[in-house]
């Protein structure tokens, strides 16, 4: 006997699918959906896929949209993009920007160019002036273009370092920064009001982004480097290997390096050019295990002194350094972040520049940056996770987040920028090489001065996102008294106003130290981009000997990792 509820569910799905098919301008996703509709009554897998595709619309938030490509409101496709562009256009008109320009960029993922052109047509149909890049561009170039062209907004079609089957849609306003609340909800309301994309006005009137935008972006980097403390012959003496991770960073980074008088980086050819299938990596994220294997092999063959990697849209930067006997070690994001902080200060001192401003980092990044800033008589600001917050720090001169995001040129780019950060890394390498030193020496100096800061992460994938409030609620109501051998000395609930930050879902557990560990910290928060709950662990050594401190910190992090895991489980 047929299940009435199952039959009703199937009938509702079929009705939604037919409405969708009547609006979808894309032959590929229409065919895909028609196939699911045909198979769903007799194929559980097809029914599950159809159910998921229509379970709810992709949620537009401060990170814009990001999701799997395919048909349905819970996927990235032309219908969703047209709705989103129309909602954004209405928001811009409602906030006084009728007739103004919006710049649009896109990466090399599947359909990124199509989504960009659809967005341009919708904006033009609404009376705005779309400025569309004629080729793929890194995300930081799009952020730069907003300020350079004085547009009222910017759109970047990218899913950053997500899997190949995903795409996404980032929105910036006229300040060149990603949106924050309440703009995200106001735009989302406008998007929800678009129920029939066939009624959305469109126009073919579109303008290309002037070529001088890329020239001026590169010039902003070369001007910074040429005004710094290194000589051209020093900069050209550093051998680097670079991987674009099948993304869009190579052409821009190469041009920037040449303009800065760096030796042209040796590219990992198999990963140099955009490829939406990311064929040589399991996951196109430089942080993932194995992602840099080809680059490390190239670095050994080329006797390189540094390996640099961008993620596919080139807003993040990974750095690896040789450790002898053909071995390489990838630096943690906090290590790169603090090396860059040291170099921002050092290059100013060497150039006779008095640095005035603020260092900023996200709450889950290392506590070391605050110590470095205080020691340099600079202010420090801690923000929520994400560059949409870091970039808004008043007077920012340098900011970073541990997830490989760095902003060394905030005057020009109001977002993380993996290309400008790479130029600063190479400049630092050149200066150190001229003195017979390496970044390892600087990291050791920082450890001896401030105590070795070591970080790690523990994360658990959550199959049912409804479990997240339960897990976080249990942590708040029954927090641990100890983690590892360390007593919990203070608990900060980031949802409360007295945390000093805008309310967000997260808990900080400050831990008392002992004879080896000066202090420690565990932060628990749901991921903002993935179905995960994460623990960010950090310990600060009380030991002066760096080798001893490394052993002690590693043992402490292992203890904390083991005891933190149960906090993330139901």
Q: Tell me: pLDDT of 108 over 90.
A: yes
Rounded to an integer, the average pLDDT of 264-275 is: 98
pLDDT value for 549: 97
Read off the pLDDT of each residue in 315-327 and give the average, rounded to a whole number: 95
Distance, in Å, from the CA atom of 235 to the CA atom of 220, rounded to the nearest integer, reads: 17
Q: Which of 450, 485, 502 is the endpoint of a domain?
A: 450
Distance in angstroms (rounded) separating the CA atoms of residues 401 and 418: 12
**pLDDT of amino acid 529:** 66
pLDDT at position 146 is 98
Question: Among residues 430, 450, 470, which one ends one of the domains?
Answer: 450
Question: 203 with 235, same domain?
Answer: no
Contact 10, 43 (CB under 8 A): no
Characterize 499-538 residue by residue with b for buried, 16 or more Cβ atoms within 10 angstroms of its Cβ, and e for exposed.
Answer: bebeebebbbbbbebeebbbbbbbbbbbeeeeebbbbbbb
**So which residues are the catalytic ones?**
160
Rg of the chain, C-alpha, whole Å? 25
Q: What is the mean pLDDT of the chain?
A: 95
- pLDDT tens profile 42-58: 999 999 999 999 999 99
Q: Are residues 163 and 240 in the same domain?
A: no
Per-residue model confidence (pLDDT) at position 1: 39
Domain boundary among 396, 431, 450: 450
Does one domain contain both 179 and 234? no
Shared domain check, 306 and 444 = yes
Q: Are residues 467 and 487 in the same domain?
A: yes
Q: Are residues 184 and 110 in the same domain?
A: yes
Q: Which CATH number characterizes residue 538's domain?
A: 3.30.310.50
Q: 142 near 103, Cβ under 8 Å? A: yes
The confidence band for 34, taking pLDDT boundaries of 50, 70 and 90, is very high
How far is C-alpha 284 from the geometric centre of its chain's CA atoms? 13
User: How many Å apart are CA 541 and CA 447, to the nearest integer?
Assistant: 8
329 shares its domain with 206: no
Residue 484 shares a structural domain with residue 413:
no
Neighbour tally for 445: CB within 10 Å: 13
Pair (388, 459) in one structural domain = no
Residue 495's pLDDT band (boundaries 50, 70, 90)?
very high
In total, how many domains does the chain have?
4
Residue 5 pLDDT: 57
Residues 41 and 116 in one domain: no
The token duo for 41 is 């009554």
Element at 380 (helix H, strand E):
strand 379-383
Are residue 284 and residue 136 in the same domain, yes or no?
A: no
CATH code, domain carrying 434: 3.40.120.10
pLDDT-based confidence at 313, cuts 50/70/90? very high
Q: Which domain covers residue 527, as residue numbers? A: 452-568
pTM: 0.95
């Amino acid at each position: 006997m047929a299940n009435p509820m199952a039959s009703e569910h199937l009938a509702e799905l079929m009705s939604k699918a037919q409405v969708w098919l009547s609006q979808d301008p894309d032959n590929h996703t229409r065919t895909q959906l028609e196939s699911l509709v045909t198979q769903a009554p007799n194929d559980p897998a097809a029914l599950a896929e159809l159910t998921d595709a229509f379970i709810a619309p992709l949620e537009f938030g401060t990170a814009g949209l990001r999701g799997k490509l395919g048909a349905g409101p819970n996927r990235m496709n032309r219908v969703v993009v047209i709705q989103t562009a129309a909602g954004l256009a209405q928001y811009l008109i409602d906030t006084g920007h009728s007739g103004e320009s919006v710049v649009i960029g896109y990466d090399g993922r599947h359909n990124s160019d199509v989504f960009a052109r659809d967005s341009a047509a919708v904006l033009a149909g609404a009376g705005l002036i779309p400025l569309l890049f004629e080729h793929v561009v890194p995300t930081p170039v799009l952020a730069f273009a907003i300020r350079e062209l004085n547009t009222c907004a910017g759109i970047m079609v990218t899913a950053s370092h997500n899997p190949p089957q995903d795409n996404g849609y980032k929105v910036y306003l006229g300040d060149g920064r990603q949106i924050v609340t309440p703009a995200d909800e106001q735009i989302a309301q406008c998007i929800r009001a678009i129920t029939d994309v066939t009624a959305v006005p469109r126009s073919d009137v579109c303008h290309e982004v002037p070529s001088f935008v890329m020239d001026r972006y590169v010039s902003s980097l070369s001007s910074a480097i040429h005004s710094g403390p290194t000589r051209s012959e020093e900069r050209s003496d550093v051998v680097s290997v670079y991987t674009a991770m099948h993304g869009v960073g190579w052409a821009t980074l190469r041009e920037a390096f040449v303009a800065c008088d760096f030796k042209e980086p040796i590219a990992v050819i198999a990963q140099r050019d955009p490829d939406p299938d990311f064929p040589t990596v399991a996951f196109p994220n430089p942080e993932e295990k194995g992602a840099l294997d080809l680059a490390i092999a190239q670095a050994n063959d080329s006797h390189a002194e540094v390996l640099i990697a961008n993620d596919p849209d080139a807003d993040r930067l990974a750095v690896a350094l040789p450790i002898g006997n053909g071995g390489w070690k990838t630096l943690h994001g906090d290590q790169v972040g603090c090396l860059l902080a040291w170099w921002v200060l050092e290059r100013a001192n060497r150039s006779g520049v008095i640095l005035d401003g603020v260092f900023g980092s996200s709450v889950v990044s290392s506590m070391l940056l605050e110590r470095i800033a205080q020691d340099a008589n600079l202010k420090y600001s801690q923000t929520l996770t994400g560059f949409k917050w870091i970039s808004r720090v008043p007077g920012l001169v340098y900011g970073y987040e541990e997830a490989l995001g760095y902003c060394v040129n905030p005057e020009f780019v109001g977002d993380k920028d993996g290309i400008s950060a790479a130029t600063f890394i190479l400049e630092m390498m050149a200066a150190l090489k001229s003195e017979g030193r390496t970044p390892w020496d600087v990291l050791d100096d920082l450890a001896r001065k401030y105590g070795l800061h070591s970080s790690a992460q523990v994360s658990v994938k959550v199959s049912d996102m409804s479990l997240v409030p339960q897990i976080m609620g249990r942590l708040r109501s029954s927090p641990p008294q100890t983690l590892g051998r360390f007593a919990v000395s203070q608990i900060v609930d980031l949802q409360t106003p007295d945390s000093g930050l805008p309310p967000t879902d997260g808990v900080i557990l400050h831990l008392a130290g002992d004879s080896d560990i000066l202090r420690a910290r565990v932060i628990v928060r749901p991921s903002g981009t993935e179905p995960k709950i994460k623990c960010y662990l950090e310990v600060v050594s009380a030991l002066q000997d760096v080798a001893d401190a490394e052993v002690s910190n590693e043992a402490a992090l292992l203890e904390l990792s083991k005891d933190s895991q149960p906090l993330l489980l139901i």
